[in-house]
Structure 1
């Protein structure tokens, strides 16, 4: 009975988080007549799969999801590959230059993105990367890298230097001590950074809107926006169905990577 308030608060929090997804599912299963009613219904009175058929028939959702998945995976992996050694160097070699670098990383996050849209487009145009997924990956890496670097250097600082010193006393080289001692302890941080970079790239809309022009290379957020007509009127049924399908890959990715995060935490605890 003592934990009843805790369980109640946890249930309320879960319901709060699940409400948008539940409402999205409810809207995707409603008929146009039911959605047009003044009083909204929580549970569809006559569930229909017509919205899903319309969504897949009108837009290339599978192709767009595949392109978004490729861009998100490439962006997250490249971000971590670049950020990890840089984060180690920043965390282990402290000094004025290090503090300036960290300060610049944090300051760079407050710049309005809209200010660099035109210079960014000009650079990509000169490199002939406009309307390509490669150009979009480079943009995502560029804007995800600062925060990923800040995240990872915090994880590196949490690893005691004494562990590397002990490995050096045992005869291990610097690279071997990093690979055998530091790397396992950084697994949770790497996984968390991968998740952050993946979600940021998967949901990104503005840069994709500027970089990509051809419908054949558009990512999923841009494809979902095509369900809104030129007058600004959205087709709620197909849009809800497509948006619901768009959440599945990210949920699957999170479920897979969550296991790695837990295993990394346990390995780090045993190593420590």
Structure 2
């Protein structure tokens, strides 16, 4: 009803708003664990060395939180990429339908699937997730080491 009153039914912006509202609680809950894991002693040490709040955030806290932010972003992306129900209900025109909804067009009468084209389309649907994982994998491991304290 809210999207209808805002005239966002059958728009990608309306679907994006739903995805953000849907994934935000999980993302905040997941990030809370990463934020709690940052030792306050590191922030205090940076303050003693003369760093201001912004410098502490950028130079000390951000590198430690980077892997958590990337992991959370990946979970949110995969949740939105694979989501079916909201896209089915909110998007009516074929040009705006998401890939999971389009994959249902490969089902024929009485649920009989055309397996060849369906398998090919499903493979193509997984490629963006695989490419994203491949690109970000180096940043996750690099981010974990960026904030390490040397002894």
In the superposition, the TM-score normalised over structure 2's length comes to 0.94
| Structure 1 position 178 matched with structure 2 position 57 | yes
**Cα displacement (A) at 1:144:** 0.6
Indicate which of 244, 255, 259 corresponds to 2:138. Answer: 259
Gaps of 5+ in 1: 1-121
Q: Which runs of 5+ in 2 are unaligned?
A: none
Of 44, 53, 57 in structure 2, the residue corresponding to residue 165 of structure 1 is 44
How far apart, in 2, do the equivalents of 1:169 and 1:201 lie?
Answer: 43
Q: Deviations over 1:39-69 (max 9, x none)?
A: xxxxxxxxxxxxxxxxxxxxxxxxxxxxxxx
Pairing 1:1-272 to 2, within 5 Å after superposition: 122-270=1-149
Asked if the contact 1:185–1:271 (Cα under 8 Å) also holds between the matched residues in 2, the reply is no
Say which one has the larger Rg: 1
**1:89 aligned partner:** none
SS in structure 1 of the partner of residue 102 of structure 2: helix
Return the offset for 1:270: 4.4
Which of structure 1's runs of 4+ aligned residues deviate more than 6 A?
none
Kindly indicate whether the alpha-carbon contact (under 8 Å) linking 1:224 and 1:239 is maintained by their aligned counterparts in 2: yes
Aligned residue number for residue 118 of structure 1: none
8 A Cα contact 1:187 1:268, kept in partner: no
What is the deviation of 1:230?
4.7
Alpha-carbon distance in 2 for matches of 1:173, 1:270: 19
Give the 3-state SS of the residue equivalent to 1:226 in structure 2: helix
Instruction: Give the Å deviation of 1:178.
Output: 1.1
